[in-house]
Amino acid sequence: MIVLSTSVSPEKELILKEKFLHTKSDKLMKIWQTILDHISENKSTYLLTVFENKGSSPGKYGFKMVICDDGSMTGSIGGGAMEYELVEKCKSLLSINQRSNFVLKQSHNEGNNDTSGMICSGEQSIGFISIDKDDQETIIEIIKHLVAKKTVRIHMDPNGLKLVENSSPHTHDYVFTDENSWWYEETLGVRNKLYIIGAGHVGFAVSKLFSQLDFDVILFDNRPKLSMLEENPYASIKKVIDYNEIESYVVEGKNSYVIIATNKHTGDKLILSKLIRKNLAYLGLLGSKAKVSKFKEQLPDEDFSKLHAPVGIKINSITPDEIAVSIAAEVIMVKNKS
């Protein structure tokens, strides 16, 4: 494994920190900013991470929480009695300045010896990593990657936190042999992208909702000077494009989700014909059953088995906001099954 490091002068450190703290951040960024904030002042923190989860555990793998020695905290590993108990444990360790890196396995079933006090039926393993001033360069390097929208691979084991070369095909890897022999790796900065093709009322409502769900929202339309495109504050990328070239704008992959919602049937059909064979996590088409049936007749050679059409969960949605909710529910369902 290759350990990455960066030599940062105190002056440059302050410049970087100022830049990071004024960058529009998501939940993940706040975790690392909080850590940097505290260790820069020579304070200690504990980073809690869900390494593994089974069944109906409240926290899912990758969930993170930071507990600081002043009692403040950021993030969540699932909430409830389980989280409260682990937070108190961290506060106790920080109060006596005890640094240790370990894993706790908790069962959310009544009657087990390691029960969490919850009855949701499941298990999760939570890693505790102590972080202080000695880890500052590593934390700065993580934030630099996230600010630049680049991925970075973190490695945790009984020796603490470090960065490694990203050589795994998995976002998360976890191996536990015993309490003295375990490791966890995670690739940070992997973002789900939602491509919305059509910047009308539904496109606006969908982009607004998904911007709150930690998706990078990318909005396309073929109409120049369209106010609903230009004035949409929720999309990170907004472009007027030629729908004939849509393939060059949509990146394939397991983190790519697409909603087709143009203002014309001809536009929908054109885009569908160009994207139907793409390797996408999700492809949805806004429209009626009759419209979908017509497209299937007109594109007989295509495989429609992976197309979600009419798009969204059936909740009798009518307004753009209601349609956005139905679409979000379906996309989340697909995402969490993968």
* Per-residue pLDDT tens over the stretch 173-206: 999 999 999 999 999 988 899 999 999 999 999 9
Distance CA 29, CA 217 (A): 18
Q: Region 1-29: what's the mean pLDDT?
A: 51
Distance CA 270, CA 241 (A): 13
Distance CA 155, CA 161 (A): 6
pLDDT-derived band at 282, boundaries 50, 70, 90: very high
Whether residue 221 sits in one domain with residue 115: no
Look at residues 188, 209, 230 and tell me which one is the last residue of a structural domain: 188
Return the residue matching tokens 């002042």: 41
Specify if 2 maps to a domain: no
Weakest mean pLDDT among 68-77, 101-110, 148-157: 101-110
Whether residue 148 sits in one domain with residue 16: yes
Tokens of 280: 């996408």
Specify if 4 maps to a domain: no
CA atoms within 13 A on the CB side of 93: 21
pLDDT computed for residue 4 by the predictor = 43
Encode pLDDT of 134-177 as tens digits.
999 999 999 999 998 889 999 999 999 999 998 888 889 999 99
Specify if 5 maps to a domain: no
pLDDT-derived band at 13, boundaries 50, 70, 90: low
Whether residue 21 sits in one domain with residue 169: yes
pLDDT at 56 over 90: no
Whether residue 172 sits in one domain with residue 134: yes
Look at residues 188, 206, 236 and tell me which one is the last residue of a structural domain: 188
pLDDT at 286 over 80: yes
Encode pLDDT of 213-259 as tens digits.
889 999 999 999 999 999 999 999 999 999 999 999 999 999 999 99
Whether residue 182 sits in one domain with residue 33: yes
pLDDT at 263 over 90: yes
Specify if 1 maps to a domain: no
Give a three-class secondary structure readout of the chain. CCCCCCCCCHHHHHHHHHHHHCCCCCHHHHHHHHHHHHHCCCCCEEEEEEEEEEECCCCCCCCEEEEECCCCEEECCCCHHHHHHHHHHHHHHHHCCCCCCEEEEEECCCCCCCECCCCCCEEEEEEEEEECHHHHHHHHHHHHHHHCCCCEEEEEECCEEEEECCCCCCCEEEEEEECCEEEEEEEECCCEEEEEECCCHHHHHHHHHHCCCCEEEEEEECCCCCHHHHCCCCCCEEEECCHHHHHHCCCCEEEEEEEECCCCHHHHHHHHHHHCCCCEEEEEECCCHHHHHHHHHHCCCCCCCCEECCCCCCCCCCCHHHHHHHHHHHHHHHHHHC
Whether residue 163 sits in one domain with residue 35: yes
CA 261 to chain centroid, in Å, comes to: 24
Whether residue 16 sits in one domain with residue 157: yes
Q: How many structural domains does the chain have?
A: 2
243 near 327, Cβ under 8 Å?
A: no
Amino acid at 323: I
**Which residues have C-beta within 8 Å of that of residue 106, sequence separation ≥ 6?**
82, 114, 115, 116, 123, 124, 125, 126
Whether residue 164 sits in one domain with residue 200: no
pLDDT computed for residue 57 by the predictor = 61
Specify if 3 maps to a domain: no
Distance CA 120, CA 110 (A): 9
pLDDT at 118 over 50: no
Whether residue 73 sits in one domain with residue 45: yes
pLDDT at 22 over 60: no
Return the residue matching tokens 């050589």: 167
pLDDT-derived band at 82, boundaries 50, 70, 90: confident
Q: Region 50-61: what's the mean pLDDT?
A: 78
Specify if 94 maps to a domain: yes
Whether residue 265 sits in one domain with residue 201: yes
- Name which residue leads in pLDDT, 152 or 60: 152
Query: What phi and psi values does residue 285 have, to the nearest 5 degrees?
Result: -125, 125
pLDDT computed for residue 165 by the predictor = 94
Specify if 180 maps to a domain: yes
Whether residue 198 sits in one domain with residue 182: no
Q: Region 57-72: what's the mean pLDDT?
A: 86
Look at residues 126, 153, 188 and tell me which one is the last residue of a structural domain: 188
In terms of Cα–Cα distance, which of 66, 63, 60 is closest to 47? Answer: 66
Q: Region 28-48: what's the mean pLDDT?
A: 93
pLDDT computed for residue 320 by the predictor = 97
Specify if 85 maps to a domain: yes
pLDDT-derived band at 21, boundaries 50, 70, 90: very low
CA dist 69 → 76, 100, 127 (Å): 17, 14, 18
Whether residue 174 sits in one domain with residue 280: no
pLDDT at 120 over 70: no
Distance CA 173, CA 49 (A): 13
CATH of residue 281's domain is 3.40.50.720
- Domain extent, residue 183, equals 10-188
pLDDT-derived band at 121, boundaries 50, 70, 90: low
